[in-house]
Structure 1
Amino acid sequence: MKINSTVLLTLILLFLMLGAGSVSAFLGFDLGSSALKGVTTPDGRPTSKFAATKTNSSQSGSVTFLKEEDILKTVKARIDGKSKAAKSDKQNEDDEEITSKKQKPEEKPKEVVEEKLQPGFPVSAESEGVTMAVQSARYSGGDLLLKVKMENKGKDSVRFLYSFLDVTDDKGRTLSASTEGLPTDLPANGPAFTGTVSIPTALLDDVKKVSLSLTDYPDQKLKLEVTNVPVDK
């Protein structure tokens, strides 16, 4: 009985080992089949490889090379197009400028407005073709401003130093004065020059007329005396 139990136990163990091995083999086969799904045997035929390569190349897109003549033609066309566009813009600008000039009214020359002289003016003096004239008198900023015009119609130029200008009132008193804009040199047959002689108002409280006296420097060949210039306030 003891021997039979041992044999029976051995058979049971052997049966269990065979069953476990069968189950392991089945599971391994099943896992391997699942892993190899979708895997095909590579085609060893050279013609098939060439056809597949050609198909893949055509699908990925072929590279084409442009001819040099075509490139030059394209570049020239673009340059010509830009040149024509620039000429067109320039022409448009010129047309707009011409149109604006036509639309803009022509400016008429300004008329020369003659100076309106005050009563009693001008007061002038002439010597050796040189003229000095007081055109007007007005008070401004605490000074009497005498507008003086000088002109030389003689043959020789004349020089003046205005520090030698004598200004006196109607009572014979000497008045201090300053000049501005009067020329140092008067050219022969030259244009007229205009300047200002300024006299402080404080010196003219009871003065109605003033006189100016000027001689050339250094020759003192001529003497300009403008007398009785009215300066009433």
Structure 2
Amino acid sequence: MRLNSTVLLTLTLLTLMLGAGSVSAFWGFTLGSAALKGVTAPDSRPTSKFTSSKTSNNPNGAVTFLKEEEILKIVKARIEGKTKAAKSDKKDEEEEIEENKPEISQETPEAEVEEKPQAGFPINSESEGVSFAVQSARYSGGALQLRVKMQNKSVDTVRFLYSFLDVTDDKGRTLSASTEGLPAELPANSSTFSGTVSIPTALLDDVNRISLSLTDYPAQKLKLQVSNVPVEKQ
């Protein structure tokens, strides 16, 4: 009797468990279906968009491909168009530059324009066919700038070391000077060379005139001397 009661109780529990599981499964399915209403699976075909766009223009739904010749023609046309546009822009820029460029008088070439002669200049010295001339003396940038020209009309090349350039004032004092642009060597029958001799203004406070003396190196045969160069401040 006890055995029958146990079996019956067991069967009853199993039936209740199965029933509860079925109800739970049904209820879960119902909730899931309600939550997924209106949701569709994404189109996994990568060519579907291209196909749809082409079929919209093609009533037969067939995909049309461009020929290689047509593709090359299109690319060539685009490249030529960009090249022409770039050339046109460059041409416009060049024309604008030409229009804005200041006009230079054709009567006097720019290379031939020289500074106006200064009163009392040039002061020349010549030795053995070599000439040394002071063209002007002007104060600029904290120094006296002596504009100098040199020329060798002899048949021999002449060399100079400008550390041998002696500059003295009217009181016999030696002045410090630097050179710029003067050649270290004058070829035979040379053209004219120009340069600058600079003397600090601080050394010329009470000086009215100076003298310059230069010789060649290493022979020291020449004696180029320019005296009484006026350096009074205006």
| Superposed displacement of residue 232, structure 1 | 1.4
Alpha-carbon offset, residue 133 of structure 1: 1.5
Residue 94 (structure 1) shift: 2.4
Decide whether the 8 Å contact of 2:124 with 2:133 is kept in 1: yes
Find the aligned partners of 2:127 and 2:143 in 1 and give their Cα distance: 29
Write the letter of the residue equivalent to 2:87. Answer: D
**Matches of 1:200 and 1:162, distance apart in 2:** 20
Q: 1:65-144 counterparts in 2 under 5 A? A: 71=65, 74-102=67-95, 104-105=98-99, 108-109=103-104, 111-112=109-110, 113-140=113-140, 143-144=143-144
- 1:86 deviation in Å? 0.8
Cα–Cα, structure 1 residues 227 and 123, in superposed 2: closer, same or farther, change >3 Å?
same
Tell me what 2:161 maps to: 161
Which shows bigger deviation, 78-87 or 149-158?
149-158
Q: Give, as a single letter, the amino acid of the residue that structure 2 aligns with 1:228.
A: N
* Structure 2 partner of 1:176: 175
Q: CA deviation at 1:215?
A: 0.8
For residues 139 and 91 of structure 2, what CA distance do their matches in structure 1 show?
Answer: 51
1:194, CA displacement in angstroms? 1.0
For 2:149, give the aligned amino acid: K
- Structure 1 counterpart SS, 2:71: helix
Q: Report the count of equivalent residues.
A: 166
Partner of 2:226: 226
Q: SS of 1:79's equivalent?
A: helix
| Deviation of 1:204 (Å) | 4.6
Q: Deviations over 1:32-83 (max 9, x none)?
A: xxxxxxxxxxxxxxxxxxxxxxxxxxxxx9xx997xxx85x52331221011
Identity of aligned residues (%): 44
> What is the identity, as a one-letter code, of the residue corresponding to 1:196?
V
- Residue by residue over 1:130-175, the C-alpha shift from the partner in whole angstroms, topping out at 9 and shown as x without a partner, is 222212223346543322222333332211122222222334x132
Q: Would the alpha carbon gap of residues 141 and 97 (structure 1) be closer, same or farther in structure 2, given more than 3 Å must change?
A: closer
1:173-212 alignment, distance < 5 Å = 173-181=172-180, 182-188=182-188, 189-199=190-200, 201-205=202-206, 207-212=207-212
Instruction: Report deviation, 1:97.
Output: 3.3
CA RMSD of aligned residues (A): 3.1
TM-score, normalised on structure 1?
0.59
Structure 2: distance between partners of 1:175 and 1:144: 15
Other-structure match for 1:22: none
The answer as to whether partners of 1:134 and 1:149 remain within 8 angstroms in 2 is: yes
One-letter identity of the residue aligned with 2:88: D
Give yes or no for contact 2:179–2:195 (8 Å, CA) kept in 1.
no
Gap change, CA 1:163 and 1:109, over 3 Å in 2: same
Q: In the alignment, is the contact (CA less than 8 A) between 2:175 and 2:203 conserved in 1?
A: no
For residues 204 and 92 of structure 2, what CA distance do their matches in structure 1 show?
A: 63
Contiguous gaps of at least 5 residues in structure 2: 1-51, 53-60
CA distance, structure 2, for counterparts of residue 143 and residue 93 of structure 1: 52
User: Partner residue of 1:18?
Assistant: none
Q: Which runs of 5+ in 1 are unaligned?
A: 1-60
